[in-house]
Chains A and B, each alone.
Chain A
Amino acid sequence: QQPVQSPQAVILREGEDAVINCSSSKALYSVHWYRQKHGEAPVFLMILLKGGEQKGHEKISASFNEKKQQSSLYLTASQLSYSGTYFCGTERMNRDDKIIFGKGTRLHILP
């Protein structure tokens, strides 16, 4: 039931765009996105709820396709500070009270 993230890793140059995908085989209620820098705590980026709107935060936005149980995180005009590992966490429709995270996508931004 762990969501699957793709790609596993990506290297970009500053200013380029990136898309990180998260998919589940189960019906989802919500998708949570976090970024973790080496040696630090995961930091909350955004949450997408079933039936909710696409979220945006400066140059980082995300969508949630309820029919496909997929979410995508969009990083536009990437900055050096965007480097880190991105995790998606999912809550299932059966409300089984836990957030399950994918294995993460490592993003490295080159100057």
Chain B
Amino acid sequence: KAGVTQTPRYLIKTRGQQVTLSCSPISGHRSVSWYQQTPGQGLQFLFEYFSETQRNKGNFPGRFSGRQFSNSRSEMNVSTLELGDSALYLCASSLGSTGYGNTIYFGEGSWLTVV
């Protein structure tokens, strides 16, 4: 059974540009959560999608957005990139929505460097 797949794995962007990251969950999983990981802050929750609906959002500016498609695949977008957006972006999928003790499984992440 394939795991969570994230693309691209590595990318370099310039300040002011925008970026789109993609996540394919484990087959049959309907929930996708996104996290930003930086050395000082650990794993910071961005948002969760379940059945194409955003169920929750973390404390990030509106430049961070996401969506989920009918096949459960998800994308997140960051507009007007800043140097501080450099991080590992992790996607995690689960069978059911979080908040009910469902286990989430992480992908290997997308390393974003903003220069």
Contacts and interface: CB of A to CB of B under 8 A. Distances in A.
A32 B104 contact: yes
B25 interface: no
Is chain B's interface secondary structure helix, strand, loop, or mixed overall? loop
B101 interface: yes
A29 to B, nearest CB: 7
Interface residues of A, number: 25
Contact of A101 (B35, B48, B109): B35
Interface residues of B, number: 24
Contacts of A101: 35, 42-43, 45
Interface string B42-60: 1101001000000110100
Given A96-B56, A98-B48, A87 B103 contact: no
Interface string A64-96: 000000000000000000000001010100011
A101 B4 CA distance: 19
Interface string A94-105: 011111111110
